[in-house]
Structure 1
């Protein structure tokens, strides 16, 4: 009887160990998947100031008579030896109208560097109404030593913002970019 009890305990312990190992493996997988899943969630909902992306202006988007100020902000990681600034710091735009803004980036190092821009919109709730049609932030940017480039962003503010009680009366939206290095930083900066 004792041998049978030990056998059942061993089987039970193995099942418990297997279940615990599977739980740990699942948690690790979820940990790796959480960042991409969160990014997708933000892009779909506009949560956290994430803007929407469109290939072209939807046929039903019509400019309204309401004007809003769009402020352009730029930041660069300390590890990226670039100068990155908007050409204009603010623009007054009609809600629903297609607009274009430009940023300038310059590689201050003596070697080619690839950077990638992250972005957000404030107030955060306005992110779901700020739609980018074309943007330098959709792809990585490689600048040669001393190269200075002009980077466009084409966008519109969706008229649906006017119906949202949380942001319908907002008078200013800030579009902010931060560039980070894609390559390993070099010590010769």
Structure 2
């Protein structure tokens, strides 16, 4: 009888261990999932994976190859009532040459709209060698109704791209931007009256209704 009791207790302890291990594993996987987002973004920025371009701190002043490459410009909108497009559809430059391109955005809505652009490069491997010196991407931009804004991007293609077997014969790179809306949170008014103000002040909503 005592042996059965001991066996039952052992099974319960084993079950507790299994449950504890499973919970620890699940918690660890959740933590890794959250950590993976910034790590993946960092990985893309360093390697150019997924068409992520590189950010240059200053204008390139190194070697320029006697070889042309064409950069095509693409523009898309996602849920924002803007007309967003490149001023020129493409430009042909020397590899290593710094150049400037322009995009144009016009707010077609009847109220101010804030937008933000994301980007990528095709082919994806070229992202590691496409360096932007100046760019409007990931910057919140607010346009008034009917307002048009010139949005420049300054870039160069790293000459090391010709040392990559898969890219050595590359003739064209596509830089693509997608503009989407950014909702601005309205500041919450304080419920406490300002010093020296009257507590009998009519709320704005009532005043407007009363003429």
Whether the 8 Å contact between 2:129 and 2:160 is mirrored in structure 1 is yes
Instruction: Please name the residue that 1:160 is paired with.
Output: 160
Equivalent in the alignment of 2:57? 55
Tell me the SS of whatever aligns to 1:35.
Answer: helix
Aligned-residue offset at 1:161: 1.1
Q: Do residues 174 (structure 1) and 155 (structure 2) align?
A: no
Aligned with 1:137: secondary structure?
coil
Higher relative contact order (CA 8 A, sep 6+): 1
- Aligned equivalents of 1:5 and 1:112: distance in 2? 73
The C-alpha deviation readout for 1:23-47, integer Å capped at 9, x for no partner, is 2222222333333322221111111
Unaligned segments of structure 2, at least 5 residues? 185-211
Is 1:34 aligned with 2:17? no
Q: Deviations over 1:86-127 (max 9, x none)?
A: 011111111111111110111222233222222111122211
RMSD (Å), alpha carbons = 1.9
Q: Aligned pair in 2 of structure 1 residues 90, 58: CA closer, same or farther (>3 Å)?
A: closer
Matched residue, 1:187: none
Q: Aligned partners of 1:25, 1:66: CA distance in 2, in Å? A: 53
Q: CA deviation at 1:131?
A: 0.5
Instruction: Tell me by how many angstroms 1:58 deviates.
Output: 5.0
Q: Number of residue pairs matched?
A: 182
Say which is worse superposed, 26-35 or 151-160, in terms of deviation.
Answer: 26-35
Tell me by how many angstroms 1:7 deviates.
Answer: 3.1
The secondary structure found in structure 1 opposite 2:110 is: coil
TM-score of the pair, normalised by structure 2: 0.78
3-state SS of the aligned residue for 2:46? helix
Listed as ranges, the gaps of 5+ residues in structure 1 are 185-189
Shift of 1:71: 0.6
More strand by share: 1
Q: Which has the larger radius of gyration?
A: 2
State the Cα deviation string for residues 107-164 of structure 1 (Å, max 9, x = none): 2222332222221111222111110111100422222332211111111000111222
Runs of 4+ more than 6 Å apart:
none
